[in-house]
Amino acid sequence: DQQVKQNSPSLSVQEGRISILNCDYTNSMFDYFLWYKKYPAEGPTFLISISSIKDKNEDGRFTVFLNKSAKHLSLHIVPSQPGDSAVYFCAARLNYGGSQGNLIFGKGTKLSVKP
Amino acid sequence: NAGVTQTPKFQVLKTGQSMTLQCAQDMNHNSMYWYRQDPGMGLRLIYYSASEGTTDKGEVPNGYNVSRLNKREFSLRLESAAPSQTSVYFCASRTTGQLNTEAFFGQGTRLTVV
């Protein structure tokens, strides 16, 4: 059973518009959430994160929103640029018992930004 | 600053052969991880090491072994490769504890088992 779900395998957006990538989770013990970006033939790179005690975190064109009651987070990219075309992974940290704070990843959403 | 370095970048194995994937980090991180990425499956944790001298199973450990050689190095071994182990393997490291920290990933090893 998936604990971190990215239900949209792909998303296509026009350059300059907003990209919204969504992520749902099932475990209320997640306390830290991260977004990673991955280009082909490269490793994932960290993009932005949010603690469960916050509902918004902003870094330049990237904003992550967290709705704990709905167990939902989203990544907003404004404005979208062709260089943002990549696979985006949502990840959550499970931090209790013997879990050692491992990150659990969703399946990813492939974003295509068209010029 | 190299970050996380994985070797090799590509490998083709025959079924039944063995090999070791190497990973080293230079960021003084205490925790290290091995993930595999398969189409439509995201990143799945194979094994992890929370600190030097400790290793634990992740979500998909069958068919693999690991060694945390020292604080810098964490290797993944396939004793008898199977076609189901064809995948892209990523090593990662991070500082764990009370801090909110991200994981840093290597460039990946693309493994094909024929």
- The 10 Å CB-count burial string (b at 16+, else e) for B55-81 is beebebbeebebebeebbbbbbebeeb
Banded model confidence at residue A43, pLDDT cuts 50, 70, 90: very high
From chain A, the residues in CB contact with B87 under 8 A are: none
Alpha-carbon distance B44 to A105, whole Å? 7
| Stretch among A67-81, B43-57, B72-86, B96-110 having the lowest mean pLDDT | B96-110
Alpha-carbon distance A60 to A50, whole Å? 15
Q: Are B108 and A89 inside 8 Å of each other by CB? A: no
In percent, the amount of chain A with pLDDT more than 70 equals: 95
Predicted confidence at residue B80, as pLDDT, reads 96
The amino acid that residue B78 corresponds to is: L
A41 touches chain B (CB under 8 A): yes
Q: Are A107 and B56 inside 8 Å of each other by CB? A: no
Across the range B44-55, mean pLDDT stands at: 93
Averaged confidence pLDDT in chain A: 93
Q: Determine contact, residues B5/B25, Cβ cutoff 8 Å.
A: yes
Nearest to B24 by CA among B8, B9, B5, B7: B5
